[in-house]
Structure 1
Amino acid sequence: MNRENISDLIAFLAVARERNFTRAAAQLGISQPALSRTIRSLETRLGVRLLTRSTRSVAPTEAGERLLKTVGPLFREIDAGLNTLSELREKPAGSIRITSVEHASDTILVPAVARLVTQYPDIRVEIINDYALADIVADRFDAGVRLGEQVAKDMIALRIGPDFPQVVVAAPAYFTRHPAPVIPHDLTGHACINMRLPTSGGVWTWPFVRDGHELRVRTEGALTFNALSMILSAALEGLGVTYLPEDMVRDHLEAGRLVRVLEDWSTIMTGYHLYYPSRHQQAPAFAIFLEALRSRG
């Protein structure tokens, strides 16, 4: 259907509903003579009379009634759809999919999302925890959350969390059976609870820094997990030594359920960043999500 037919049909519907050329012309914002010419042009193209006119009234003919019943509901649906979009501008709605890691989700995303969905109940947020370095475009994520050094250079990145210390801990019961490590290389003689990294297929090597000297230790042990919560549970059970974000174990350290070792060697991890591929064509829901996280940088 060409553009001319659409505009002429809109004009016909206005006259047929108002049953008055003057009111219909005012509604459409055109002059009455221009509206009359539009209707005559439509009737000529269709080859049928659509309206009967008298000095006092206007009414659809049989053909006009049939056209009104056929296209009228379709244009009402279009109007309803446009009104829905207008409502979305006024009351943001939509879905947001984020790939993240457990620690960032627990400490940053969930608190921010809690405020977001309370204020905007029509926004839906899905967070998938995965330590693989996901291709957010191919996997249809709106954004990802990873440590700063893990974000690809071609992505737009927004810092959403501060740097944080990583600490080596174990339960007191474990150290009743094993001497505490003094230097990082002592860990090779301990039962270490490790993290599996899906992207590389290997286990995470533990980074350490002291006096500007950096080293990595490839630890071994009977237990390997892909979730920090499971690693923490195993450490609390006295099953080995592990390396976790300090804020995740702080309460357990204060309560004496865990003991920290190698304090002089623990490293600082770069803060979490939200990353996404483009600043353009951001949905209103995603723009609000970004704003909710921006203050955390």
Structure 2
Amino acid sequence: MQRLPTYGIEVFLTIVREGSMRAAADALGVGASAVTLQLKSLEERLGIELFFRTTRSVALTDAGKVLFEAAAPAHRDLIYAIKKTREMAQSTTGTLRLSLSRGAYIGALAPALKEFLAENPGINLDLSWNEELVDIVRDGFHGGIRMGDVLSPDMIAVRITPTVKSAFFAAPNYLKVHGVPKCPRDLLHHQCIRHRHLTSSTMHQWWVTQDGQDKLIDPPARLIFDSAAGVIEAARDGHGVGWSMKAAMKDYLKTGELQTVLEPYAKDLSPFYIYYPMQNKRVECLKVLVEFLKDRSKKHPGN
């Protein structure tokens, strides 16, 4: 595709506005020779002269008048667009679109949300709960919140929580019938409820900490869900034993609808991170949220 000869338009318009080459050079903060060279280059690329020149003044040719009448309004619109774009990048007012799982909301954002919204009344959050990993660039998100073990390496990632507590859990009525597992091997004889990742279609791996080492276990699944929330709900209904982030079931633990098992073997999970593409690092609203969550994590390391 042939490129338009637009380089030098700003010099041309400045000469018209200021009335001379030297005055244009002063306005642009460059030497007079640079203005002359840029104008000459523009005329050569257009194939026509734009000014009548004398030693004291310049005047537009007919071609120059045509270019000025069309280019001046377009240049004003361009300046306005650049100004608004810069204001958007620097503004602490606007809407941030974030992709996050239910677990990320409960474990990383929810504890900080009330305080953040109170401190930043000009920032709105547009939150999309997605259990699968989404392409945040393609789908128009400013960023996302996920555990660190599932992040794409081409993203900027900032840690915002400590490691996350996990738990094996089941309903009391299930445990009354099937017994309480005493060690990870006992899970082979229980009805286990597991979670399949939507993005990769692979089963969410179960881990335990045993004898000072992290070990992978793979008990057979009686029920499989495509979300951790489904696992928790099915366990509450008495269908078996599940494993997930402990904070995600805290309400059911308080009411006694669920209880934890195998507590000495529960492995800590990866921390949560807020992540975003390089091109969004100058979005001021996003910077405000990132710094807020990072600072809060330092002040409240246990939350």
TM-score, structure 1 normalization: 0.69
* C-alpha deviation, 1:210, in angstroms: 4.0
Q: Which moved more, 1:184-193 or 1:100-109?
A: 100-109
* C-alpha deviation, 1:224, in angstroms: 0.5
Q: In the alignment, what sits opposite 1:10?
A: 13
Distance 1:153 1:212, change over 3 A: farther
In structure 1, what is the Cα distance between the partners aligned to 2:196 and 2:275? 23
In structure 2, what is the Cα distance between the partners aligned to 1:155 and 1:66? 48
Q: Deviations over 1:245-264 (max 9, x none)?
A: 22222221221111222223
1:129 to 128, 131, 147: 131
Q: In the alignment, what sits opposite 2:301?
A: none
In structure 2, what is the Cα distance between the partners aligned to 1:168 and 1:49? 79
- Tell me, yes or no, if the aligned pair for 1:169 and 1:241 is still in contact at 8 Å: yes
In structure 2, what is the Cα distance between the partners aligned to 1:202 and 1:47? 66
- Tell me, yes or no, if the aligned pair for 2:98 and 2:125 is still in contact at 8 Å: no
Q: Which runs of 5+ in 1 are unaligned?
A: none
SS at match of 2:265: coil
Q: Deviations over 1:23-47 (max 9, x none)?
A: 989866799x99xx99x989x9887
SS at match of 1:169: strand
Q: In the alignment, what sits opposite 2:166?
A: 166
- Tell me, yes or no, if the aligned pair for 1:93 and 1:284 is still in contact at 8 Å: no
Counterpart code for 1:283:
K
Q: Deviations over 1:195-233 (max 9, x none)?
A: 113566442342222442544432223311121111111
Distance 1:198 1:73, change over 3 A: same
Q: How many residues align?
A: 286
Q: In the alignment, what sits opposite 1:283?
A: 281
TM-score, structure 2 normalization: 0.68
Counterpart code for 1:87:
E
* C-alpha deviation, 1:281, in angstroms: 5.4
Q: In the alignment, what sits opposite 1:262?
A: 262
SS at match of 2:263: coil
Identity level (%): 27
In structure 2, what is the Cα distance between the partners aligned to 1:265 and 1:198? 27
- Tell me, yes or no, if the aligned pair for 1:93 and 1:124 is still in contact at 8 Å: no
In structure 1, what is the Cα distance between the partners aligned to 2:113 and 2:16? 46
Q: Which runs of 5+ in 2 are unaligned?
A: 299-303
